[in-house]
Protein backbone atom coordinates (compact mmCIF):
# COMPACT_ATOMS: atom_id res chain seq x y z
CA UNK A 1 0.00 0.00 0.00
CA UNK A 2 1.23 3.50 -0.86
CA UNK A 3 1.34 6.20 1.81
CA UNK A 4 0.73 9.75 0.64
CA UNK A 5 0.33 12.99 2.57
CA UNK A 6 -0.85 16.47 1.69
CA UNK A 7 -1.85 19.63 3.52
CA UNK A 8 -4.41 22.34 2.81
CA UNK A 9 -7.04 24.56 4.39
CA UNK A 10 -10.69 25.25 3.50
CA UNK A 11 -9.70 27.58 0.63
CA UNK A 12 -8.17 24.58 -1.14
CA UNK A 13 -10.81 22.07 -0.12
CA UNK A 14 -12.15 21.27 -3.60
CA UNK A 15 -8.62 20.81 -4.92
CA UNK A 16 -7.70 18.49 -2.07
CA UNK A 17 -10.78 16.32 -2.58
CA UNK A 18 -10.18 16.25 -6.35
CA UNK A 19 -6.63 15.03 -5.66
CA UNK A 20 -8.06 12.25 -3.51
CA UNK A 21 -10.60 11.24 -6.17
CA UNK A 22 -7.88 11.10 -8.83
CA UNK A 23 -5.85 8.79 -6.59
CA UNK A 24 -8.92 6.57 -6.16
CA UNK A 25 -9.20 6.25 -9.93
CA UNK A 26 -5.58 5.34 -10.53
CA UNK A 27 -4.13 3.83 -7.34
CA UNK A 28 -5.95 0.73 -6.04
CA UNK A 29 -4.28 0.64 -2.63
CA UNK A 30 -3.29 3.79 -0.77
CA UNK A 31 -3.58 5.75 2.44
CA UNK A 32 -3.79 9.56 2.13
CA UNK A 33 -2.91 11.50 5.28
CA UNK A 34 -4.43 14.98 5.12
CA UNK A 35 -3.10 17.67 7.43
CA UNK A 36 -6.11 19.94 7.96
CA UNK A 37 -4.77 23.47 8.19
CA UNK A 38 -7.93 24.92 9.70
CA UNK A 39 -10.73 23.51 11.80
CA UNK A 40 -13.34 23.85 9.06
CA UNK A 41 -11.31 21.52 6.86
CA UNK A 42 -11.00 19.02 9.71
CA UNK A 43 -14.76 19.09 10.38
CA UNK A 44 -15.78 18.69 6.73
CA UNK A 45 -13.29 15.94 5.94
CA UNK A 46 -14.39 14.09 9.06
CA UNK A 47 -18.02 14.32 7.95
CA UNK A 48 -17.17 13.22 4.42
CA UNK A 49 -15.42 10.13 5.86
CA UNK A 50 -13.45 9.45 2.68
CA UNK A 51 -12.26 5.82 2.55
CA UNK A 52 -8.49 5.56 2.78
CA UNK A 53 -8.10 9.04 4.30
CA UNK A 54 -6.68 9.87 7.72
CA UNK A 55 -7.35 13.45 8.81
CA UNK A 56 -4.71 15.00 11.05
CA UNK A 57 -5.69 18.25 12.82
CA UNK A 58 -3.15 20.98 13.45
CA UNK A 59 -3.28 20.59 17.21
CA UNK A 60 -2.16 16.98 16.84
CA UNK A 61 0.57 17.75 14.33
CA UNK A 62 2.18 21.00 15.48
CA UNK A 63 5.12 20.62 17.84
CA UNK A 64 7.06 23.17 19.88
CA UNK A 65 9.46 24.01 17.04
CA UNK A 66 6.69 24.66 14.52
CA UNK A 67 4.64 26.73 16.95
CA UNK A 68 7.71 28.82 17.74
CA UNK A 69 8.20 29.92 14.12
CA UNK A 70 4.53 30.09 13.13
CA UNK A 71 4.05 33.78 14.09
CA UNK A 72 7.02 34.73 11.90
CA UNK A 73 5.61 33.20 8.69
CA UNK A 74 2.74 34.08 6.38
CA UNK A 75 0.12 31.38 5.87
CA UNK A 76 1.77 30.18 2.65
CA UNK A 77 5.23 30.29 4.22
CA UNK A 78 4.01 28.26 7.18
CA UNK A 79 2.59 25.63 4.84
CA UNK A 80 5.99 25.40 3.13
CA UNK A 81 7.70 25.26 6.51
CA UNK A 82 5.44 22.38 7.53
CA UNK A 83 5.92 20.11 4.51
CA UNK A 84 9.04 18.34 5.74
CA UNK A 85 7.57 18.07 9.24
CA UNK A 86 4.40 16.47 7.83
CA UNK A 87 6.36 13.77 6.01
CA UNK A 88 8.48 13.15 9.11
CA UNK A 89 5.31 12.91 11.23
CA UNK A 90 3.90 10.12 9.03
CA UNK A 91 7.15 8.14 9.01
CA UNK A 92 7.65 8.41 12.77
CA UNK A 93 4.06 8.31 14.08
CA UNK A 94 2.69 5.65 11.76
CA UNK A 95 5.89 3.76 11.01
CA UNK A 96 5.31 3.93 7.25
CA UNK A 97 7.99 2.31 5.10
CA UNK A 98 7.95 5.37 2.89
CA UNK A 99 5.77 8.44 2.40
CA UNK A 100 5.18 10.62 -0.64
CA UNK A 101 4.15 14.24 -0.20
CA UNK A 102 1.68 15.59 -2.79
CA UNK A 103 0.74 19.20 -3.45
CA UNK A 104 -3.02 19.55 -3.05
CA UNK A 105 -3.44 20.95 -6.58
CA UNK A 106 -2.13 17.83 -8.32
CA UNK A 107 -4.45 15.59 -10.32
CA UNK A 108 -3.51 12.06 -11.37
CA UNK A 109 -4.23 10.74 -14.84
CA UNK A 110 -2.24 7.54 -14.40
CA UNK A 111 -0.91 5.32 -11.65
CA UNK A 112 1.80 6.80 -9.39
CA UNK A 113 3.17 3.26 -9.14
CA UNK A 114 5.28 3.78 -12.25
CA UNK A 115 6.92 6.85 -10.71
CA UNK A 116 7.60 5.22 -7.35
CA UNK A 117 8.99 2.11 -9.07
CA UNK A 118 11.77 4.33 -10.41
CA UNK A 119 13.13 4.68 -6.88
CA UNK A 120 14.24 1.06 -6.74
CA UNK A 121 16.70 1.07 -3.80
CA UNK A 122 16.93 4.87 -3.53
CA UNK A 123 15.84 6.56 -0.32
CA UNK A 124 14.61 9.86 -1.77
CA UNK A 125 12.73 10.72 -4.96
CA UNK A 126 12.62 14.31 -6.22
CA UNK A 127 11.15 15.87 -9.37
CA UNK A 128 12.52 18.61 -11.60
CA UNK A 129 10.53 21.63 -12.72
CA UNK A 130 11.69 20.97 -16.32
CA UNK A 131 10.98 24.61 -17.12
CA UNK A 132 10.21 25.74 -20.63
CA UNK A 133 13.06 28.14 -21.42
CA UNK A 134 10.94 31.30 -21.44
CA UNK A 135 9.56 30.46 -17.96
CA UNK A 136 12.79 29.26 -16.36
CA UNK A 137 12.86 30.39 -12.72
CA UNK A 138 15.33 27.82 -11.46
CA UNK A 139 17.70 30.51 -10.17
CA UNK A 140 14.91 31.86 -7.97
CA UNK A 141 12.58 28.94 -7.26
CA UNK A 142 15.00 26.04 -7.60
CA UNK A 143 15.71 23.24 -10.03
CA UNK A 144 13.39 20.84 -8.20
CA UNK A 145 9.73 21.19 -7.32
CA UNK A 146 8.26 20.21 -3.95
CA UNK A 147 5.15 18.73 -5.55
CA UNK A 148 5.78 14.98 -5.50
CA UNK A 149 8.61 14.03 -3.16
CA UNK A 150 9.13 10.66 -1.51
CA UNK A 151 11.22 9.59 1.47
CA UNK A 152 11.96 6.07 2.57
CA UNK A 153 12.00 5.36 6.31
CA UNK A 154 15.64 4.35 6.37
CA UNK A 155 18.85 6.04 7.65
CA UNK A 156 19.56 7.86 4.37
CA UNK A 157 16.00 9.09 3.92
CA UNK A 158 15.59 10.18 7.51
CA UNK A 159 18.92 12.01 7.57
CA UNK A 160 17.94 14.13 4.57
CA UNK A 161 14.41 14.69 5.83
CA UNK A 162 15.53 15.84 9.28
CA UNK A 163 18.13 18.13 7.70
CA UNK A 164 15.42 19.66 5.46
CA UNK A 165 13.08 20.17 8.39
CA UNK A 166 15.79 21.94 10.41
CA UNK A 167 16.60 24.26 7.52
CA UNK A 168 12.91 25.10 6.99
CA UNK A 169 12.47 25.88 10.67
CA UNK A 170 15.48 28.19 10.48
CA UNK A 171 14.41 29.99 7.29
CA UNK A 172 11.43 29.53 4.96
CA UNK A 173 10.10 32.68 3.35
CA UNK A 174 8.58 33.74 0.01
CA UNK A 175 11.64 35.72 -1.02
CA UNK A 176 15.09 35.11 -2.43
CA UNK A 177 17.80 35.46 0.17
CA UNK A 178 21.35 34.04 0.22
CA UNK A 179 20.50 31.38 -2.34
CA UNK A 180 17.33 30.31 -0.52
CA UNK A 181 13.67 30.48 -1.52
CA UNK A 182 10.90 28.92 0.56
CA UNK A 183 11.41 25.21 1.21
CA UNK A 184 12.38 24.49 -2.39
CA UNK A 185 15.87 25.85 -3.11
CA UNK A 186 17.20 23.63 -0.32
CA UNK A 187 16.79 20.68 -2.72
CA UNK A 188 19.18 22.05 -5.36
CA UNK A 189 22.29 20.19 -4.16
CA UNK A 190 20.69 17.05 -2.77
CA UNK A 191 22.11 14.76 -5.46
CA UNK A 192 25.58 15.57 -4.10
CA UNK A 193 24.74 16.41 -0.48
CA UNK A 194 22.92 13.16 0.33
CA UNK A 195 23.35 9.55 -0.83
CA UNK A 196 20.40 7.63 -2.20
CA UNK A 197 18.68 10.49 -4.07
CA UNK A 198 16.93 9.66 -7.35
CA UNK A 199 15.74 12.36 -9.74
CA UNK A 200 12.56 11.27 -11.52
CA UNK A 201 13.14 10.55 -15.21
CA UNK A 202 9.54 9.87 -16.30
CA UNK A 203 8.28 12.97 -18.11
CA UNK A 204 4.71 12.17 -17.08
CA UNK A 205 5.47 12.96 -13.46
CA UNK A 206 5.34 16.71 -13.20
CA UNK A 207 3.58 18.12 -16.26
CA UNK A 208 2.72 21.67 -15.22
CA UNK A 209 1.96 25.14 -16.62
CA UNK A 210 5.67 26.04 -16.57
CA UNK A 211 6.65 23.14 -18.86
CA UNK A 212 3.52 22.00 -20.75
CA UNK A 213 4.54 24.12 -23.77
CA UNK A 214 7.12 21.42 -24.53
CA UNK A 215 4.46 18.74 -25.00
CA UNK A 216 1.48 17.95 -27.22
CA UNK A 217 -1.20 16.13 -25.21
CA UNK A 218 -3.56 13.64 -26.84
CA UNK A 219 -5.96 10.90 -25.80
CA UNK A 220 -5.53 7.71 -27.83
CA UNK A 221 -7.97 4.99 -26.74
CA UNK A 222 -8.98 7.03 -23.72
CA UNK A 223 -5.44 7.17 -22.33
CA UNK A 224 -3.87 10.53 -21.60
CA UNK A 225 -0.52 10.72 -23.35
CA UNK A 226 1.76 13.49 -24.54
CA UNK A 227 4.48 13.88 -27.15
CA UNK A 228 7.65 15.81 -26.42
CA UNK A 229 8.02 18.39 -29.19
CA UNK A 230 11.82 18.32 -29.31
CA UNK A 231 12.28 14.54 -29.55
CA UNK A 232 8.91 13.16 -30.65
CA UNK A 233 8.99 10.84 -27.63
CA UNK A 234 5.57 9.79 -26.31
CA UNK A 235 4.78 9.13 -22.67
CA UNK A 236 1.84 8.57 -20.34
CA UNK A 237 0.84 11.62 -18.33
CA UNK A 238 0.80 10.51 -14.70
CA UNK A 239 -0.09 13.79 -13.03
CA UNK A 240 -0.61 17.45 -13.88
CA UNK A 241 0.18 20.21 -11.42
CA UNK A 242 -2.64 22.77 -11.60
CA UNK A 243 -0.61 25.57 -10.10
CA UNK A 244 -2.14 29.07 -9.97
CA UNK A 245 -5.80 28.22 -10.58
CA UNK A 246 -7.54 31.18 -8.93
CA UNK A 247 -11.28 31.58 -8.51
CA UNK A 248 -13.04 34.94 -8.31
CA UNK A 249 -16.39 35.79 -6.80
CA UNK A 250 -17.65 37.10 -10.17
CA UNK A 251 -17.42 33.59 -11.65
CA UNK A 252 -14.15 34.07 -13.53
CA UNK A 253 -11.14 31.78 -13.14
CA UNK A 254 -7.53 32.78 -13.77
CA UNK A 255 -5.30 29.94 -14.96
CA UNK A 256 -2.07 31.92 -14.83
CA UNK A 257 0.13 33.86 -17.21
CA UNK A 258 1.81 31.09 -19.16
CA UNK A 259 1.05 29.96 -22.69
CA UNK A 260 -1.58 27.19 -22.66
CA UNK A 261 -2.54 25.66 -26.01
CA UNK A 262 -6.10 24.81 -27.01
CA UNK A 263 -5.39 21.12 -26.55
CA UNK A 264 -3.97 21.74 -23.05
CA UNK A 265 -7.07 23.76 -22.14
CA UNK A 266 -9.38 21.08 -23.51
CA UNK A 267 -7.60 17.99 -22.19
CA UNK A 268 -6.32 19.22 -18.82
CA UNK A 269 -8.11 22.33 -17.63
CA UNK A 270 -11.71 21.90 -18.75
CA UNK A 271 -12.16 18.45 -17.07
CA UNK A 272 -10.31 19.61 -13.95
CA UNK A 273 -12.45 22.73 -13.50
CA UNK A 274 -15.59 20.65 -13.95
CA UNK A 275 -14.28 18.22 -11.35
CA UNK A 276 -13.71 21.08 -8.93
CA UNK A 277 -17.28 22.26 -9.49
CA UNK A 278 -18.55 18.78 -8.65
CA UNK A 279 -16.46 18.80 -5.49
CA UNK A 280 -17.90 22.21 -4.60
CA UNK A 281 -21.46 20.89 -4.88
CA UNK A 282 -20.47 17.90 -2.77
CA UNK A 283 -19.05 20.10 -0.01
CA UNK A 284 -21.99 22.50 -0.08
CA UNK A 285 -24.41 19.66 0.56
CA UNK A 286 -22.72 19.46 3.95
CA UNK A 287 -21.93 23.13 4.57
CA UNK A 288 -23.09 25.96 2.31
CA UNK A 289 -21.73 28.75 4.51
CA UNK A 290 -18.46 29.24 2.61
CA UNK A 291 -16.83 28.88 -0.80
CA UNK A 292 -14.60 25.77 -0.85
CA UNK A 293 -12.85 27.14 -3.98
CA UNK A 294 -11.45 29.99 -1.91
CA UNK A 295 -12.77 32.56 -4.39
CA UNK A 296 -11.58 36.14 -3.91
CA UNK A 297 -12.93 39.45 -5.12
CA UNK A 298 -12.03 40.58 -8.63
CA UNK A 299 -10.19 43.87 -8.29
CA UNK A 300 -9.48 46.32 -11.07
CA UNK A 301 -6.68 48.87 -10.92
CA UNK A 302 -5.22 51.36 -13.37
CA UNK A 303 -2.92 48.53 -14.52
CA UNK A 304 -5.81 46.23 -15.50
CA UNK A 305 -6.23 47.47 -19.14
CA UNK A 306 -2.46 47.33 -19.68
CA UNK A 307 -2.21 43.80 -18.27
CA UNK A 308 -5.18 42.73 -20.36
CA UNK A 309 -3.56 43.99 -23.59
CA UNK A 310 -0.17 42.53 -22.67
CA UNK A 311 -1.63 39.10 -21.93
CA UNK A 312 -3.77 39.14 -25.08
CA UNK A 313 -0.76 40.01 -27.24
CA UNK A 314 1.32 37.25 -25.63
CA UNK A 315 -1.43 34.63 -25.80
CA UNK A 316 -1.52 34.30 -22.02
CA UNK A 317 -4.93 35.75 -21.23
CA UNK A 318 -6.08 32.59 -19.47
CA UNK A 319 -9.10 34.04 -17.68
CA UNK A 320 -12.10 31.82 -18.30
CA UNK A 321 -15.62 31.10 -17.16
CA UNK A 322 -17.24 27.70 -16.75
CA UNK A 323 -20.31 29.09 -18.48
CA UNK A 324 -18.51 29.98 -21.68
CA UNK A 325 -16.42 27.96 -24.16
CA UNK A 326 -12.71 28.69 -23.87
CA UNK A 327 -10.96 26.30 -26.22
57: left (phi over 0), alpha (psi -120 to 50) or beta: beta
- Is the residue at 250 inside a domain? no
Backbone angles phi, psi at 227, to 5 degrees: -115, 130
Contact 86, 96 (CB under 8 A): no
Is residue 315 in some structural domain? Answer: no
Assigned domain for 261 exists = no
Q: Is residue 185 part of a domain?
A: yes
Long-range contacts of 307-316 (CB under 8 A, 24+ apart): 311/257, 314/259, 315/259, 316/256, 316/257, 316/258, 316/259, 316/260
37: domain CATH number? 3.90.550.10
In a domain? residue 321: no
Give the structural domain span for 43.
2-207
Judge whether 253 lies within some domain: no
pTM: 0.96
Q: Is residue 29 part of a domain?
A: yes
- Number of separate domains in the chain: 1
pLDDT for residue 80: 98
The pLDDT profile of the chain, 327 residues, written as one tens digit per residue, is 999 999 999 999 999 999 999 999 999 999 999 999 999 999 999 999 999 999 999 999 999 999 999 999 999 999 999 999 999 999 999 999 999 999 999 999 999 999 999 999 999 999 999 999 999 999 999 999 999 999 999 999 999 999 999 999 999 999 999 999 999 999 999 999 999 999 999 999 999 999 999 999 999 888 899 999 999 999 999 999 999 999 999 999 999 999 999 999 999 999 999 999 999 999 999 999 999 999 999 888 887 888 878 888 888 889 998 776 544
> What's the pLDDT at 290?
95
Nearest to 41 by CA among 12, 18, 9: 9
- What's the 3-state SS for 232-290? CCEEECCEEECCCCEEECCCEEECCCCCCCHHHHHHHHHHHHHHHHHHHHHHHCCCCCC
Residues in the chain: 327
**Residue 201 placed within a domain:** yes
Q: Judging by DSSP bridges, how do beta strands 53-57 and 106-108 pair with one another? A: unpaired
- Please tell me the predicted confidence (pLDDT) of residue 262: 95
Task: Report strand pairing: 53-57 vs 30-36.
Answer: parallel
Looking at residue 310, its pLDDT comes to: 82
Query: What's the CA gap between 283 and 291, in Å, rounded?
Result: 9
Amino acid sequence: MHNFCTLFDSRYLTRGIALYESLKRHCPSFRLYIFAFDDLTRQLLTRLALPGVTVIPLEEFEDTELLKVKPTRTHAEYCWTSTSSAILYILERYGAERCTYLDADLCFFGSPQVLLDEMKDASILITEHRYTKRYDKSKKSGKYCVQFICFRNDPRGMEALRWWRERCLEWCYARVEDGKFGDQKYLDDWTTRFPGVHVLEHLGGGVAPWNVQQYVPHEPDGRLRATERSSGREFDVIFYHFHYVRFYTNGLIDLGRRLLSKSVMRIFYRPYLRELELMKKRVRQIDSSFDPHGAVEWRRTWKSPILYLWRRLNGTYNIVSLNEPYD
